[in-house]
Each structure stands twice: as C-alpha cells, then as structure tokens.
Amino acid sequence: MAKAVLKGGQAMPGFQPSLFTDFFFGANLNGCVGETCSIALLAGAVYLLARKVISWHIPVAYLATVFVYAWVLKICCPGSALPPIAHLLSGGLFLGAFFMATDMVTSPITKKGMLVFGIGCGVITMLIRTSKTGAYPEGVSFAILIMNSLTPLINRATRNRVFGTKKA
C-alpha cells in the first residue's frame, strides 16, 4: 500500500484507527502465516518471556530502534513516511523480534551484546524498508541474517571481564 502511494507521488495518508485494529488483530489482511495477527504473536512472546525461554533485551532493543527510527523519519518528512505504529505492526517485525532474533544459538551471549544485536537488527530493518532504490517492504529476515553473521564480533567486543583481572 505504502509503495503504491509513494510511487504515485501522493502524500502518505494518516494512520486510521480501523487500520490499527486490522493490523493488531489480523483482520482483513493478507500475509504469511504468523505475521498478520500481532496480538497472537504478543501472546506467544509473553509466554516465552514468562517461561524465561527468551530474554527481553533483543526484542525490546529491536522494537524500540524501529519505533525511534520511524518516528524521526515521520518528523523529518511527514508526507512520505509511515507512522511508527504502522512499522511496528506490519510485516514480520514481531515474528522476527520475538521468535527469530532470540535464537539462542545465533544471538549474542552477554546482555550488552543482545542490546547491540537488537539495535543493529532494527537499524538494518529500517534501512531496507525505507530505501528509495529498493523499496523492499520486509527487511526483518535480512537484518537478522546480517546481524547473525556479526554475532562472533559482538560477543568478542562485549564479553565480560574475568573477575580479579585488570583491564588491558
């Protein structure tokens, strides 16, 4: 929808409450399984957080980065940017933030590393989503793959100091 509006040279419409409920509850939307109903994804995320299967660091950093990036973009050029809530609820962002990026094997070990990982995923997702040349609406998978390749470097940069040793 956003791509068609921008290619037509029109201003981006405001985010209507009916569109918010459609995104949140998954009504009247087409999409892949698991990315249209945000409330179901949030319920699964709450379950995983309550069972301590995942940590809050990566999803919160990821979603906050996407929100702040979209908010700044909406302030800078309001006619050609979607509202931040549209970026949060559309596509597979919740699916990626809570279920893909928190994979224990490919995500950083330390809490600081998890925050860096989440911020990196958010920035790359928004760069892919808002690119004028590509205009690719879904950058979540690519962002997670790119940050997964950087996980060893993040782990090395954010590793904890061994107790009783001095800084180099």
In this prediction, residue 100 carries a pLDDT of 93
CB–CB of 30/36 below 8 Å? yes
d(CA 22, CA 38): 10
In this prediction, residue 26 carries a pLDDT of 62
The low-confidence residues of the chain, meaning pLDDT below 70, are 1-20, 22-35, 132-137, 168
Largest CA distance in the chain: 63
In this prediction, residue 56 carries a pLDDT of 96
- Here the tokens at position 49 are 């957080």
| CA nearest neighbour of 117 among 156, 161, 150 | 150
Annotated domain spans of the chain: 54-157
Burial of 90 (0-12, 13-18, 19+ CB in 10 A): buried
In this prediction, residue 148 carries a pLDDT of 96
d(CA 114, CA 36): 26
CB–CB of 23/89 below 8 Å? yes
In this prediction, residue 35 carries a pLDDT of 67
In this prediction, residue 90 carries a pLDDT of 76
In this prediction, residue 116 carries a pLDDT of 97
In this prediction, residue 88 carries a pLDDT of 85
CA distances from 154 to 119, 165, 167 (A): 12, 21, 18
In this prediction, residue 166 carries a pLDDT of 76
In this prediction, residue 162 carries a pLDDT of 78
DSSP letter for each residue of 120-156 = HHHHHHHHHHT-TTT--S--HHHHHHHHHHTHHHHHH
In this prediction, residue 4 carries a pLDDT of 64
